[in-house]
Amino acid sequence: MNLEHHFAQLGEAFSSKTLIQPLLEQRLVEFNQSLAVFLSIDIKSPSIKRVLSGQDVVPHSVSMVYAGHQFGGFSPQLGDGRGVLLGEIKGQDGLLYDLHMKGAGPTPYSRRGDGRAVLRSCIREYLASEAMAALSVPSSRALALYDSREAVYRETPEAGAMLLRTAHGHIRFGHFEYFFYQGKQAELDQLIAYCLQHYYPACLASDAPLQNMLLDVVKRTARMIAKWQSIGFQHGVMNTDNFSFTGETIDYGPYGFMEDYAPDWVCNHSDHEGRYAFSRQPGVGLWNLNCLMRCFSKHLDRDMLVSILQTYEAELQSHYDDLMSQKMGLDSRHILHELLPSLFVVLASEKMDYTVFFRLLSQMQESQFALLLDEVIDRERMLNWLTLYQSARLDEGKDWSLVGSDMLKVNPKFILRNYLAHDAILAAEGGDYLPFRRLLNVLSHPFSEHSESEKLAQRAPEWGKSLEVSCSS
């Protein structure tokens, strides 16, 4: 395994040397074969097995230090409290990817935490990150899952586990905040140079490197959040320490995939004020970017920073429009802007399943309204909407079945429903990983039919709707 250590080489101001501390009877229980091939890692080879389970030392493994705005308040020092960056490794695309072990044991940034992760949260992160990647959302990826016989104490004792994950970068908005609020200008400059070199080389070669890099960060963040909104993903903890400078979705905790359509839905049970509610995510993205821009107030003047921030809304809106027009099978923006608000009113008052609705819409032939009418209580209201939708489609004059088959490629049949994750976790905690693997398989190919796994496309039973997820994992 050809690990490089560029981040570690930035020096002690940026990270602390930290080793993986293996768990009791740690076992590799799942690994991502295609990702391993992409990164040229033979996870099952004995030497790599020893490194990845912490039995052999990676000489330059570190935990990163950063700060962050958490639920609006600033925490001047956070950091990888339970994560170890093993190094960077080259993918087949020539880019470097971080190898990061979550739940690797205490670090200098653990504060009062134990540095561990439980099997439940590792499985949730594994499933979510792979589901997101399959839905083409920029995301960290899961490379390997380890379970153990070590007890980790949360509300009750649970099984300890580790998740080996990759991302293009693990640098967070909070990395910049950490140096900025301490007035550490030299380190801030070093971090800027590092990001330009490693993540934004095209900007480095331009006439205004920092300005162009920040424009790119705004763009990537806007597009990532547009994607979240289009698929119904809610992050749950959009603190600036969980926001990636490379525009990737990271740190899956109490996230949720929307089932019954409800714009004010709050998936994180600990988010009492609904700060990170589904409909607030685009606004929070801007708030976070605003925090980030402040860190460059000694480099660029205020008007410049404001003008960079002002690109966010248009980028998010236009990408969201593109995504929703594909989901609806409509080209005309004018019609889309008319039809979407009225659709959302119908979906919200019917508490209709967001994913099921778009899947059925994709399958509906010209006059097969019954497919959707049978799903609702107020048939007349749905009929009115479908009639408007049908006439818009007919006006565009495209072959109905061709448009439908394109829609099936963007409207998934399978999403990570909370009750499915719950079932997979319960089974895994009892030693049976088959339900986890079955679920992972459909989530990795969410647009295919998988007729053998029809059950995994079904809406939650009543008990599955009231499951709660919170920050403690």
Instruction: List, by residue number, the catalytic residues.
Output: 241
Binding mask 203-242 for ligand AMP (x = CB under 6 A): ----------------------------------x----x
Question: How far apart are alpha carbons 65 and 382 in whole angstroms?
Answer: 52
Question: How far apart are alpha carbons 11 and 15 in whole angstroms?
Answer: 7
Shortest Å, Cβ 192 to ligand AMP: 22
Shortest Å, Cβ 237 to ligand AMP: 5
The answer for 245, left when phi > 0, alpha when psi is -120 to 50, beta otherwise, is alpha
Please report whether residue 331 would count as binding ligand AMP according to CB under 6 A: no
417 binds, among ligand AMP, Mg ion, none (CB under 5 to 8 A by kind): none
110 binds, among ligand AMP, Mg ion, none (CB under 5 to 8 A by kind): ligand AMP
What is each CA distance from 394 to 334, 428, 443, in whole angstroms? 15, 49, 33
Shorter beta-carbon distance to ligand AMP: residue 452 or 468 = 468
Shorter beta-carbon distance to Mg ion: residue 173 or 320 = 173
Please report whether residue 16 would count as binding ligand AMP according to CB under 6 A: no
- 73: exposed, middle or buried (Cβ count in 10 Å: 0-12, 13-18, 19+): exposed
Please report whether residue 114 would count as binding ligand AMP according to CB under 6 A: yes
Contacting residues for 118 by C-beta, under 8 A, at least 6 apart? 103, 152, 154, 158, 159, 160, 161, 473
421 binds, among ligand AMP, Mg ion, none (CB under 5 to 8 A by kind): none
198 binds, among ligand AMP, Mg ion, none (CB under 5 to 8 A by kind): none
Q: Which of 16, 21, 77, 110 binds ligand AMP (CB under 6 A)?
A: 110
Count the residues of the shown chain that bind ligand AMP, applying the rule CB under 6 A.
Answer: 14
Element (H, E) at 27: strand 27-31
What is each CA distance from 255 to 86, 258, 292, 468, in whole angstroms? 26, 10, 23, 11
Tokens representing 428 are: 């895994």
Shortest Å, Cβ 326 to ligand AMP: 32
Torsion angle in degrees (nearest 10) through CA of 252, 146, 171, 1: -150
Q: Which of 69, 116, 120, 198 binds ligand AMP (CB under 6 A)?
A: 116
Shortest Å, Cβ 75 to ligand AMP: 8
Shorter beta-carbon distance to ligand AMP: residue 39 or 78 = 78
Shorter beta-carbon distance to Mg ion: residue 254 or 404 = 254
Shorter beta-carbon distance to Mg ion: residue 238 or 324 = 238
Q: Which long-range contacts (CB under 8 A, 24 or more apart) does 424-427 make?
A: 424/123, 424/127, 425/119, 425/120, 425/123, 425/124
Binding mask 235-254 for Mg ion (x = CB under 5 A): -------x--------x---
Indicate the DSSP class of residue 107.
-
Contacting residues for 255 by C-beta, under 8 A, at least 6 apart? 124, 128, 233, 234, 235, 236, 267, 469
Q: Which of 22, 52, 54, 82 binds ligand AMP (CB under 6 A)?
A: 82
Contacting residues for 7 by C-beta, under 8 A, at least 6 apart? 14, 15, 62, 64, 85, 88, 98, 194
Binding region for ligand AMP (CB under 6 A) out of 106-114, 209-217, 265-273, 346-354: 106-114
Shorter beta-carbon distance to ligand AMP: residue 132 or 210 = 132
Binding region for ligand AMP (CB under 6 A) out of 21-29, 110-118, 383-391, 415-423: 110-118
98 binds, among ligand AMP, Mg ion, none (CB under 5 to 8 A by kind): none
Shortest Å, Cβ 251 to ligand AMP: 4
Contacting residues for 137 by C-beta, under 8 A, at least 6 apart? 224, 227, 228, 231, 233, 249
Scanning 280-414, the segments in alpha helix (DSSP H) are 281-294, 302-309, 311-328, 333-350, 354-363, 370-373, 379-396, 400-407
Shortest Å, Cβ 256 to Mg ion: 17
Question: How far apart are alpha carbons 60 and 1 in whole angstroms?
Answer: 14
Binding mask 239-278 for ligand AMP (x = CB under 6 A): ---x--------x-x-------------------------
Tokens representing 2 are: 């050809």
**Site residues (vs Mg ion, CB under 5 A):** 242, 251
**Site residues (vs ligand AMP, CB under 6 A):** 78-82, 110, 113-116, 237, 242, 251, 253
